[in-house]
Structure 1
Amino acid sequence: MDREFIAERQKGLQNYLNVITTNHILSNCELVKKFLDPNNYSANYTEIALQQVSMFFRSEPKWEVVEPLKDIGWRIRKKYFLMKIKNQPKERLVLSWADLGPDKYLSDKDFQCLIKLLPSCLHPYIYRVTFATANESSALLIRMFNEKGTLKDLIYKAKPKDPFLKKYCNPKKIQGLELQQIKTYGRQILEVLKFLHDKGFPYGHLHASNVMLDGDTCRLLDLENSLLGLPSFYRSYFSQFRKINTLESVDVHCFGHLLYEMTYGRPPDSVPVDSFPPAPSMAVVAVLESTLSCEACKNGMPTVSRLLQMPLFSDVLLTTSEKPQFKIPTKLKEALRIAKECTEKRLMEEQKQIHQHRRLTRAQSHHGSEEERKKRKILARKKSKRSAVENSDEHPAKYSNSNNSGSGASSPLTSPSSPTPPSTSAALGLSKRRKGRDICITSTSSTSTSTSTTSSSLASCEHRGFCPALTPGCEWCGPRGLAQFHSEFPKRNSEKSPNL
């Protein structure tokens, strides 16, 4: 096939994959993960969940499976089943089974004890767990089935039993909640987050699908996720910001996502958010800016107590008679603290790796840009020109040095048997001057009393710059005869042609 055609198709496929992976819901879809990484997502978790649930029913015969709820959640390793009690056939419950995650740092004993403590947690804004159990590899919890669904179902006008992609990926109508609903639901969620933080119980899994609606009351779901060590729904967002490095700050950042979704009826396109669309109240925008803006993501999140004092939530009156109750033994509190620190440490290491990778990517992109290529070409040309000029300057200097050394070491150029007449030497003399040379080699001839023998000697005289005057006998400054060029130059030629 044509190479250009193949390259064009590859580019189109890459653009298509980029669009899919930038969509937060599609990127977490099981089909997408299996396509991009088939080796790590080859297991059939529905069958694994059925095996675990069947083993559980052997010891608990009062429960019965009505039907599996296929893909109602976004997690690949978490499955849901519609349940009923044999002696109460009209009541419907939901069983959730989940595998262990990468942040499970509790020992098996502490993990199972904490899972079994969850049914004893009583709070007006926590959805109660009917039954909970765990083994060394997974956990199983049962809650009452709610026909109204979650807060996300209310925002998207969806049915709770429909698959996750069908409910939320492409909504027909985008509409946020009313201001009073935003204020009430937001205050209730912040109150339960503060309760968990005060108890030292890590959460980190706040999003609209984990908030169950019970009339006008919001109740938090899936407290077991942090014990299982499962990754957060918004982890790909807050892992980019190194200031969001505690589970408390993670909860506040996730609350910003939830508030944005309640206000505008859809999640933000990207985080941080540069500018917010018009909202029902400026107080809403103030809270969003403190949790989702560029400045907030760089400098850090406010505390839950600080959000409760902001004008959007400070005037909300909550009427509830139920007293919160959640007793955690001291030994398990210490185990939770250690597990929380390990989870935060892994988050910071991941943030560091992402930061280094982004710096490297920016440097490579900048280095490979067209502007940088032009700059490098210009610098290379300048460097080559500079080296060429330096080489051209060094070549005549070497040539002159060789001439100087040759004239100083050789015998006198004047033939002893044929002295050059002064007129011929003056007529044929060559005047050479060199810039920057400090040594002038002067030739002085001395004649002995005998006219048949003549001797010449070379002496050196030092001066700066050029010779002040043409020194007679100077090899570079004074006139030179033809006999000086060659010792065998015929004497008769000099005598016959004195003016040559």
Structure 2
Amino acid sequence: MAMFDRRREHKQTFDESRTINVTIRESSNVGGHIEYRIEIWRSPEPEVRYSLTYRYSQFAHLNFALRSPHVTLPVLPPKKFFGNTDKSFVNDRKVALQNYMDELTKHPILRHHQALKNFCDPINYCANQLENGMMSVAAVLRSGGRLELGNTMHSIGWRYHKQYFHVCQVTPASTTDSTASVASGGAGSTATGDSVSTTGSASAVRGSSSSTTSNTSSPELTSAALAHTLHVAPPKASLLLWWCPYGVDSTMHLRDVHGTLTALVQCQHPYLATTLSSVATETGVCVTMPFYPQGSLRDLLYGARPDQSYIVKYNSNKSTSQSLACGISIRSAAVYGRQMLTALNFLHHKSVGHGHVHLGNVVVVEGVCRLGGAENLVLGLPHPLRFLFTYVKSLNSIQAIDVYCFGHMLYEMAMRRQLSTPTCEVFPADCPPLCRSVLESILSPEAGKNGMPTIDGLLTHPFFNEIPLHSHGRVSLHMSASVKQAVLTAHQTMLSRLLSDQKKVRLQKRIQKAEALIAQQSYRFTGRNKEANKKTGSKSAGATPPSSTITSPG
């Protein structure tokens, strides 16, 4: 059993949620073509930089790849056939390209586009990793043989390395119950006795007692694939399977990942989404869940189909018009908020927490709101709003993070748009008083400095405590002491890195203030010298030239 105690070496080494900053440093004429050297770094680590060189045609190719319905792109400088190497033209185009990249990287939706990620970071975002994910899913399914892999759902989420598939549960071809080796608590064997056939974009995985696959075809399973029992699902029922490698905050042993996922699969709560199965390997986690045709709560808010790409579904131009027609009423927001707070309160009383609260992880089934996505914290994945966490000093616990994300979720339901800033100083005038009171207690600058309210405190707020709960099903979540300790350790690892990033952000703010003060004093000194020189009629001798003025970055 020593192989279960090893830590995984296969995990992401970068935070996908961090904001990408692009600066075009210089341009040069190489072989009659103008090349632009761009410098890229991720907030809040400006000292970690790398450079790439692109031509204008590659910027144009990026702009073409970003095109999609209902998406308004920033203006790309036009192409010029003659005189495109003139120094003045190159300088003007350089400025225009800089503005173009700034708008893309700061856009709340477009910054998650796969084409932009490939352009800015071709090493960490490459097609080979997506192919490896497909191979990992096929290997996991071969170990059980009870699922048939259907079409790939491309880019329905914001994570580049998280892949989604349509699957359905099928009856094994063999009458024996050999596939029951993936039962709960047991270790799945290596991929043997199964065959994989691929046709177009669909891959079928069926049990075959006559065919044999060598262990070398599935290296991710050689050190133990840990599987959990599938809940009984109707034959040929449409299911959703997703695969994702471990994130930058992942520190759990494979044994502890298995124990935590087992507890989440067996968890019962009326306001927690059902997970049918979970499989943990050394390279990532594969989770199967019911497929909801109506999509997530965010899909309902924006009137989008769940199989559309993330960019098309949640682009602001489309969401504004559609959310007005099929948005969520304040009463429904209060009902859903009460149900989600009840689910979060249950998890925190079990010392689990959630860490990934947002509308994309919420589904509504027969008027009942169910929260999912708790597996993301086990994988060590960052929250999509983590880049905002670094600006909120009071986010120093997993409960504070869940409450803060709940505030963003309530704001999105009430205002029908996402809040793109860490805090909100002025709320719209049409926001109801009780809803405004909740939002101010979470998203105001004072809450960001002094502390977040507790989940128990929010449940007693008049906006929620008057909402009756009609679902009173059985609740249970059983975890061993060792697994609980592993979960707490994972929380501390995530919080430690967040605290470090918060310190870096505060240091950058102090540096920017100092640079702005120096620039202001330098400007005043230059102005006084010019006035003195005018009076004496001589040229300024000690004035600081404008090019040496220090300005605040950004």
TM-score w.r.t. structure 2 length? 0.66
Where does 1:244-393 land on structure 2 (aligned, <5 Å)?
A: 244-369=395-520, 372-375=522-525, 378=528
Give 2:241's match in structure 1, choosing from 78, 81, 95.
Answer: 95
Find the counterpart in structure 2 of residue 219 from structure 1. Answer: 370
- 2:146 and 2:169 in contact (8 A); partners too: yes
Q: Deviations over 1:389-417 (max 9, x none)?
A: xxxxxxxxxxxxxxxxxxxxxxxxxxxxx
1:173 and 2:297 aligned? no
* Structure 1 position 245, deviation (Å): 1.9
User: Which one-letter code corresponds to 2:396 in the other structure?
Assistant: N
Say whether the 8 Å CA contact 1:101–1:229 is kept in structure 2: yes
Q: What is the distance in 2 between the residues matched to 1:204 and 1:376?
A: 52
The residue number in structure 2 matching 1:34 is 118
The answer on whether the counterparts of 1:151 and 1:212 sit within 8 Å (CA) in structure 2 is: yes
Which residue, out of 324, 337, 347, partners 1:186? 337
Superposition deviation, residue 319 in structure 1: 0.9
Q: Is the 8 A contact 1:99 1:137 kept in 2?
A: yes
- Give the Å deviation of 1:203: 1.5
Q: Which amino acid in the other structure matches residue 150 of structure 1?
A: S
Letter in 2 for 1:341: Q
Counterpart amino acid of residue 134 in structure 1: A
Relative distance call for 1:145 and 1:47 in structure 2 (3 A) is same
Asked whether the equivalents of residues 242 and 352 of structure 1 are also in contact (C-alpha less than 8 Å), the reply is no
SS for the counterpart of 2:322 is coil
Q: Give the CA deviation at 1:273.
A: 1.2
Distance 1:32 1:300 in 2: 36
Looking at structure 2, the residues matched to 166 and 82 of structure 1 have their Cα atoms a distance apart, in angstroms, of: 20
C-alpha distance after superposition, 1:353-400 (max 9, x if no partner): 12112221232234235x642235648999xxxxxxxxxxxxxxxxxx
Secondary structure in structure 2 of the residue aligned to 1:244: coil
Which of 148, 156, 159 is the aligned partner of 1:64? Answer: 148
* Alpha-carbon distance in structure 2 between the residues aligned to 1:152 and 1:314: 24
Deviation, 1:5, is 2.3
Deviation at 1:66, TM superposition (A): 1.7
| The one of 117, 123, 127 aligned to 2:263 | 117
From 208, 233, 252, give the equivalent of 1:106: 252
Q: Quick one: structure 1 residues 128 and 316, their matched pair in 2 at CA, closer, same or farther if it must change by over 3 Å?
A: same
Map of 2:129 onto structure 1? 45
Partner of 1:151: 297
Deviation at 1:105, TM superposition (A): 1.6
CA separation of 1:120 and 1:89: change in aligned 2, threshold 3 A: closer
Is residue 179–residue 280 contact of structure 1 (8 Å, CA) maintained in 2? no
Deviation by residue 1:315-339 (Cα, 9 ceiling, x = unmatched):
1110113121110111111111122
Contact 1:119 1:129 in 2 (8 A): yes
Relative to the length of structure 1, the TM-score reads 0.73
Change (3 A) 1:280 1:295: closer
Aligned-partner Cα distance in 1 for 2:402–2:430: 23
**Between Structure 1 and Structure 2, how many residues are aligned?**
383
Determine the C-alpha separation between the residues in 2 that align with 1:5 and 1:365.
Answer: 31
CA distance in 2, matches of 1:281, 1:361: 38
Mean CA deviation greater in 195-204 or 43-52? 43-52
Q: Which residue in the other structure is 1:137 paired with?
A: 283
Find the counterpart in structure 2 of residue 81 from structure 1.
165
User: Which has the higher mean CA deviation after the structures are superposed, 89-98 or 272-281?
Assistant: 272-281
Separation (CA, whole Å) in 2 of partners of 1:66 and 1:54? 11
Once residues 69 and 351 of structure 1 are traced to their aligned partners in structure 2, the CA distance between those partners, rounded to angstroms, is: 35
Q: Kindly indicate whether the alpha-carbon contact (under 8 Å) linking 1:174 and 1:264 is maintained by their aligned counterparts in 2.
A: no
Q: In proportion to residue count, which structure has more helix?
A: 1
Gaps of 5+ in 1: 383-500
- CA change 1:314–1:38 in 2 (3 A) is same
The residue identity in structure 2 corresponding to 1:36 is C
Q: Give yes or no for contact 1:45–1:76 (8 Å, CA) kept in 2.
A: no
Over 3 Å counting, the alpha-carbon distance change for 1:194 and 1:42 in structure 2 is same
Please report how far the alpha carbon of residue 89 of structure 1 lies from its aligned counterpart in structure 2 after TM superposition: 4.8
Is the Cα contact below 8 Å between 2:394 and 2:450 reproduced in 1? yes
Contact 1:119–1:130 at 8 Å: present in 2 too?
yes
Indicate if the aligned counterparts of 2:337 and 2:464 stay in contact, CA closer than 8 A: yes
Cα deviation, 1:408-441, whole Å, max 9, x if unaligned, reads xxxxxxxxxxxxxxxxxxxxxxxxxxxxxxxxxx
> Which consecutive unaligned segments of at least 5 residues does structure 2 have?
1-84, 172-233, 533-554
Q: Using the TM superposition, name which of 26-35 and 65-74 deviates more.
A: 26-35
Give the Cα–Cα distance (whole angstroms) in 2 for the partners of residues 202 and 372 of structure 1.
51
Distance 1:215-1:43 versus aligned 2 partners, 3 A rule:
same
Aligned CA RMSD, in angstroms, stands at: 2.1
Answer whether contact 1:263 1:279 (CA < 8 A) is retained.
Answer: no
Equivalences for residues 221-240 of structure 1 within 5 A:
221-240=372-391
Q: Deviations over 1:139-191 (max 9, x none)?
A: 01101111111110111011111111111113243434212101100000111
- Find the counterpart in structure 2 of residue 494 from structure 1: none
Question: What's the offset of the Cα at 1:307?
Answer: 1.1
Q: Is the 8 A contact 2:303 2:323 kept in 1?
A: no
Letter in 1 for 2:372: L
Contact kept? 1:122, 1:324, Cα under 8 Å: yes
Query: Equivalences for 1:330-479 in 2 at 5 Å?
Result: 330-369=481-520, 372-375=522-525, 378=528
What amino acid is aligned across from residue 95 of structure 1 in structure 2?
L
Instruction: Measure how far apart 1:70 and its partner are.
Output: 0.9
Cα offset, 1:120, TM superposition: 0.3
Q: For residue 322 of structure 2, what is the amino acid of its counterpart?
A: K
With CA pairs under 8 Å and 6+ residues apart, which has the higher RCO, 1 or 2?
Answer: 2
Q: How far apart, CA to CA, are the structure 1 residues paired with 2:451 and 2:97?
A: 38
Matched with 1:204 is 355
1:161 to 307, 312, 319: 307
* Alignment-mate amino acid for residue 267 of structure 1: Q
Which amino acid counterpart does residue 313 of structure 2 have in structure 1?
K
Report if aligned partners of 1:80, 1:95 keep a CA contact under 8 Å in 2.
yes
Shift of residue 194, structure 1, vs aligned partner: 0.9
